[in-house]
Structures are given as structure tokens and as C-alpha cells.
Amino acid sequence: MMRLSLLVFVAFTLLSSSHADAEFNPIRQLGRRSVGSDDYKVNCQSFRVGVEANNLRDWITIPTYCKSYIKTYLQKNQYSLDVEAIAVEAADYAESLQKDIFLKDIWVFDIEETLLSNLGYLASSSVDFGTQQVYATPYYEWLTSNATVVPAILELYNAVVENGFEIVLLSEAPESIGDALVQALQNAGFSGWTKLILKGDADNGKSPEEYKSAKRTELVNLRYRIAGNVGDQWSDLSGENVGIRTFKVPNPVYNRIWD
């Protein structure tokens, strides 16, 4: 009898404490499917950090209430400081890395929002700081006519070249805009890359990660060693043969460019 009442008491205490937790613990209220949906309003800085850390995946647009936060982040210097911090770290690494004796050491750079900036387009009403989806055709039209440089990444690029690495540019842009893209890269101050890999017809239907993994695997099969890999999307830096070190350039606006 004594035992039974103790058991009842313990069970009751457990039940009531877990009930109390549920009232103030948002983790207990899971079941939500989209970031920043009505059932759970993610804090905007937590959203941005979660995106950069690859904790938040498969999101399509930013939470609409985070638009002014993202706008301030991009336009009032914090974005530039974040890019600069990554570029400095990557350049230090490029300088200190012991080259391989047998393999050709290369750096892989993504192009869109890594070497070239489309911030003007992302701020336009078409994208509205990520509250609207980004579509490939207008995105690349803007990129090939109006893109600007990401200054800290140009400095990193030049530092990597000076340290004797070959450069491979790996982009999801279609081969059909190759000439215009080369022109945009040159206008932004980039030169001297070894390879420019763009998406051909044979690559259609692959996810961004599958496409980039396959291209990097081809490079590795050609006895290149990927010393560094720089991109603004996690699909640039995940999958197979990602390289010895990866560097994530911030991008809180879009998670992929849609066909």
C-alpha cells in the first residue's frame, strides 16, 4: 500500500512537471514543418545563424517578418564583415597548407554570391531580400549585366593564386551563358583560372549537390587535390570530395536558384 501510493505520487509529479515544461518550452511544441511558420516564430538572427550552420535546410523563402533584419544585415556592414572574416581565415590556410608532392593542389570557387554579387537584384522587388523565390533566368540576366564583385573574396582569390594554387570555378550557370559570365568575372577583376565548369545538358535533372559532387569527383579522378572549397550554398560544400577545408560565404537570402 505504501509502495503503491509512492508510485502514484512519483507518476503524478512526473506528469505534472512535463505538462508544465510544455507550456514554456517551444521544443515541446514541435510538429511544425516550415521555418518561421505561425506555430513557431523563429528569431531572425537565429534563422540566419541556423542557415549558415546548415541546421536549417530546404527552406525556400525567408520568414517574411525577417525582411528588415536581413536587409539591415546585408546593407549595414555585418555581411561584409562576415565575408571578410572568412576570407582572412581562408587566406591564412592557403598560405600555411603543405602542398601535395604527387597531386595538383587546387581551390574550387563557386561563382554566384561567392565571387560575384547580385545584391542589387536580391534587394529588388523581384526577390525582396528573400521573401520571394529566386528564378534562374532573371537572376542570370542580372548577373551577366550588373553583377558586382564580392571584394574580400577577390582578395582571397588573388591570395590563393599567389600561393601557387590552380583555380577551378564550379557554377550551376548554364553553359549557354558562358561567354557573358566570363565577361562579368573579368569586369569584376577575376582572371587566371584553370577551369570554368558550367552546367551542360547532361547535368540537367541533378540536384545542386549531385551536380557539384559529380564535377568534383571528376577533378579528383584527374589527380587534382581539392585544398579549399569556397561557396555560399551548403550544396557547394556537401556531398562527395568536398575538399580538405570548406569555407561558407554567408547567404541568408536564398537556399537555391530555381529553374
Ligand X SMILES: *[C@@H]1O[C@H](CO)[C@@H](O)[C@H](O)[C@H]1NC(C)=O
* Contacting residues toward Mg ion, per CB under 5 A: 110, 112-113, 232
DSSP code of 135?
A: B
Q: Which does 113 bind (CB under 5 to 8 A by kind): Mg ion, ligand X, none?
A: Mg ion
Q: Which is nearer to ligand X, 26 or 120 (by Cβ)?
A: 120
Do residues 152 and 84 touch, judged by C-beta distance below 8 A? Answer: yes
Measured from the CB of residue 175, what is the shortest distance to ligand X in angstroms? 20
Cα(221)–Cα(203) distance, rounded to whole angstroms?
18
The residues, ordered by sequence, that sit 6+ positions from 100 with a Cβ below 8 Å of its Cβ are: 225
Which ranges constitute the DSSP H helices of 101-168? 119-122, 136-146, 151-162
Q: Which is nearer to Mg ion, 82 or 110 (by Cβ)?
A: 110
Q: Which does 105 bind (CB under 5 to 8 A by kind): ligand X, Mg ion, none?
A: none
Q: Which is nearer to ligand X, 125 or 221 (by Cβ)?
A: 125
Q: Which residue is nearest to ligand X (CB)?
A: 146
Q: Which is nearer to ligand X, 69 or 139 (by Cβ)?
A: 139
DSSP code of 167?
A: E
Cα(158)–Cα(152) distance, rounded to whole angstroms?
10
Q: Pattern of binders to ligand X over 89-128, x per CB under 6 A?
A: ----------------------------------------
Q: Which is nearer to Mg ion, 35 or 212 (by Cβ)?
A: 212
Measured from the CB of residue 233, what is the shortest distance to Mg ion in angstroms? 5
Give me the residues paired with residue 225 across strands: 105
Cα(109)–Cα(157) distance, rounded to whole angstroms?
9
Give me the residues paired with residue 71 across strands: none
Nearest residue to 208 via CA among 244, 232, 182: 232
What SS3 class is residue 194?
coil
Q: Which does 232 bind (CB under 5 to 8 A by kind): ligand X, Mg ion, none?
A: Mg ion
Q: Which is nearer to Mg ion, 40 or 210 (by Cβ)?
A: 210
Measured from the CB of residue 145, what is the shortest distance to ligand X in angstroms? 4
Q: Pattern of binders to ligand X over 135-174, x per CB under 6 A?
A: ------xx--xx----------------------------
Beta strand 116-117 with 245-248 is: unpaired
Q: Which residue is nearest to Mg ion (CB)?
A: 112
- Residues in contact with ligand X, total (CB under 6 A)? 4
Q: Which does 112 bind (CB under 5 to 8 A by kind): Mg ion, ligand X, none?
A: Mg ion
Q: Residue-wise over 129-153: b if at least 16 C-beta within 10 A, else e?
A: bbbbebebeebbebbbeebebbebb
Q: Which is nearer to Mg ion, 105 or 232 (by Cβ)?
A: 232
Contact positions vs ligand X (CB under 6 A)? 141-142, 145-146
